[in-house]
């Protein structure tokens, strides 16, 4: 059976999740569900990064132990699975024993490229990474817009510079495919500027004793990114080896990472270098999605525009939320959320669009009688349009172009509405001709295809529609699939 391994980035748990965290999980979930519908075996992984310095400082500010702090916040991140109907197969926490064993095993496997030296540099705790002065924006981290700290200590380093040519070839020849093309170009530009060796540990003192020990040196903790990136294989029991790791990583040619555009460097440069050093196989696809803004501004506690995902899910139907984030803007680009945009999109596409089409067709079929159209064919015009739509939709879904794929579905649904208006099947409900049967059967066929296409996006709603359609002959009430938001 074809296999697909798909992972999200693991989230820092220095605060409760916001809607941007849910967005990434929904992107990956749609792809995972689509793969399963195509009959593929899927391993879908998510998790939390609990070993970062920012978690330690957040716990200190909260006046609680780091362990208590990360446990409390991790629980909220895990709740996203149930609230947004996410289909994870596993959820890894970097404080788990299986992770620590695997991270240390990876360190051992890379030891030929690890050395120790005294180093000083500018460190952004938010990014958990060092920056050069020319990489800063007005003296601040370009991502967090905060001044980095000056750090000087003796740490372990990884010989990243050794793999510059290898990494360039890897990306240029798409042995690892980076989506979208703009992120591939960004990574190649980064490599071409020249790679330097990277610091892969921090002193236990600076880490406040929190994190995974460097093997054989308890005075040092493994750098959080070296630790965190290994989660993709530690969740597969890399630490103890065996069938799961061999099956899903080493002997699988479809391994996908879904990450934010701000951490593409770590996944497309550092991670492949670590794997190559350790003699392990590479990921196959890295998809970098855009950010979510709120009313045109970056989410910020200071501004007060952070959207709580749990409150949003209480206010609106979850499938409607899932749909909005995939239909409102291209997946690889930044998108903006406002309540007005959400309600307008929901009403236009779902209540007035898909939902109205389903209601029109179901009403006519119930009046005509399901038993009267058994074994009827499908109008050639509908069959041809389906084939065209299916081809376009499938290509777009395979490349994480969910926004564009949904446009295809909406165009198909719009064509079915026009087909109904042109054929006027409501005027033929007393007509038992083969042509009338073919028209009505073609409309049932079209709804079946729309349900299949939309299942990865709105699984609960499409299950409801599918069950209604399967038992159409016995239905006594109308199906109001997407009640209009007033």
SS3 for 100-148 is HHHHHHHHHHCHHHEEEEEEEEEEECCCCEEECHHHCECCECCCCCCCC
- CA dist 116 to 169, 249, 269, 270, 404, Å? 28, 30, 21, 18, 49
Read off the tokens for 404: 């564009």
C-alpha to C-alpha distance for 98 and 236, rounded to whole angstroms: 9
Residue with tokens 């239905």: 475
C-alpha to C-alpha distance for 321 and 328, rounded to whole angstroms: 11
For the chain, where do the domains classified as CATH 3.40.50.620 start and end? 3-298
What's phi and psi for 152, nearest 5 deg?
Answer: -135, 120
Cβ atoms of residues 59 and 70 within 8 Å: yes
C-alpha to C-alpha distance for 155 and 219, rounded to whole angstroms: 10
Residue with tokens 């290994």: 230
pLDDT tens string for the chain (486 positions)?
699 999 999 999 999 999 999 999 999 999 999 999 999 999 999 999 999 888 998 999 999 999 999 999 999 999 999 999 999 999 999 999 999 999 999 999 999 999 999 887 788 776 777 778 778 888 888 776 788 888 778 999 999 999 999 999 999 999 999 999 999 999 999 999 999 999 999 999 988 899 999 999 999 999 999 999 999 999 999 999 989 999 999 999 999 999 999 999 999 999 999 999 999 999 999 999 999 999 888 876 666 788 999 999 999 999 999 999 999 999 999 999 999 999 999 999 999 999 999 999 999 988 888 887 877 889 999 999 999 999 999 999 999 999 999 999 999 999 999 999 999 998 988 888 888 889 999 999 999 999 999 999 999 999 999 999 998 878 878 889 999 998
For the chain, where do the domains classified as CATH 1.10.730.10 start and end? 338-474
Cβ atoms of residues 412 and 354 within 8 Å: no
Q: What CATH homologous superfamily does 338-474 map to?
A: Isoleucyl-tRNA Synthetase; Domain 1 (1.10.730.10)
**Residues forming the active site:** 18, 21, 124, 127, 141, 144, 298, 301
Q: What is the CA radius of gyration of the chain?
A: 26
Read off the tokens for 346: 């929901």
CATH 3.40.50.1820, applies to 3-298: no
C-alpha to C-alpha distance for 316 and 313, rounded to whole angstroms: 5
């Amino acid at each position: 059976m074809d296999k697909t391994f798909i992972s999200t980035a693991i989230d820092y748990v220095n605060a409760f999740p916001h809607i941007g965290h849910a967005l990434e999980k929904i992107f990956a979930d749609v792809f995972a569900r689509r793969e399963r519908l195509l009959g593929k075996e899927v391993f879908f992984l998510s998790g939390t990064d609990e070993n970062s310095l920012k978690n330690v400082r957040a716990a200190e500010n909260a006046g609680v132990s780091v362990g208590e702090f990360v446990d409390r916040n991790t629980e909220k991140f895990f709740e996203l699975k149930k609230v947004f109907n996410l289909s994870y197969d596993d959820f890894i926490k970097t404080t788990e024993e299986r992770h620590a064993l695997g991270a240390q095993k990876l360190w051992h496997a890379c030891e030929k490229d690890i050395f120790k030296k005294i180093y000083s540099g500018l460190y952004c705790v938010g990014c958990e990474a060092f920056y050069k002065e020319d990489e800063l924006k007005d003296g601040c981290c370009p991502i967090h817009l905060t001044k980095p700290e000056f750090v000087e200590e003796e740490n372990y380093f990884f010989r990243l510079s050794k793999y510059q040519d290898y990494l360039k070839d890897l990306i240029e020849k798409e042995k690892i495919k980076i989506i979208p093309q703009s992120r591939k170009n960004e990574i190649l530009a980064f490599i071409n500027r020249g790679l330097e060796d990277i610091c892969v540990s921090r002193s236990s003192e600076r880490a406040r004793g929190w994190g995974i020990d460097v093997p054989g040196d308890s005075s040092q903790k493994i750098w959080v990114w070296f630790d965190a990136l290994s989660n993709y294989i530690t969740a597969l029991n890399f630490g103890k080896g065996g069938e799961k790791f061999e099956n899903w990583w080493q002997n699988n040619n479809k391994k996908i990472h879904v990450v934010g555009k701000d951490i593409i460097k770590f996944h497309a440069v550092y991670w492949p270098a670590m794997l190559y050093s350790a003699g392990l196989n590479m990921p196959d696809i890295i998809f970098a999605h855009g950010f979510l803004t709120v009313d045109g501004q970056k989410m910020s506690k200071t501004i007060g525009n952070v959207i709580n995902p749990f409150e949003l899910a209480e206010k609106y139907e979850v499938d409607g939320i899932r749909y909005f984030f995939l239909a409102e803007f291209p997946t690889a680009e930044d998108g903006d959320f406002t309540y007005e945009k959400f309600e307008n999109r929901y009403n236009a596409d779902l209540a007035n669009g898909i939902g109205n089409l389903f209601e029109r067709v179901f009403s006519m079929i119930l009046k005509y009688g399901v038993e009267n159209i058994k074994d009827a064919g499908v109008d050639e015009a509908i069959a041809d349009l389906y084939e065209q739509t299916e081809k376009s939709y499938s290509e777009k879904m395979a490349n994480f172009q969910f926004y564009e794929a949904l446009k295809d579905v909406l165009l198909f649904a719009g064509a079915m509405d026009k087909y109904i208006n042109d054929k006027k099947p409501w005027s033929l409900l007393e007509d038992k001709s083969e042509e009338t049967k073919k028209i009505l059967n073609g409309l049932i066929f079209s709804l079946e295809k729309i349900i299949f296409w939309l299942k990865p996006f709105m699984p609960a709603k499409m299950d409801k529609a599918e069950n209604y359609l399967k038992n159409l002959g016995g239905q006594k009430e109308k199906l109001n699939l997407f009640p209009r938001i007033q």
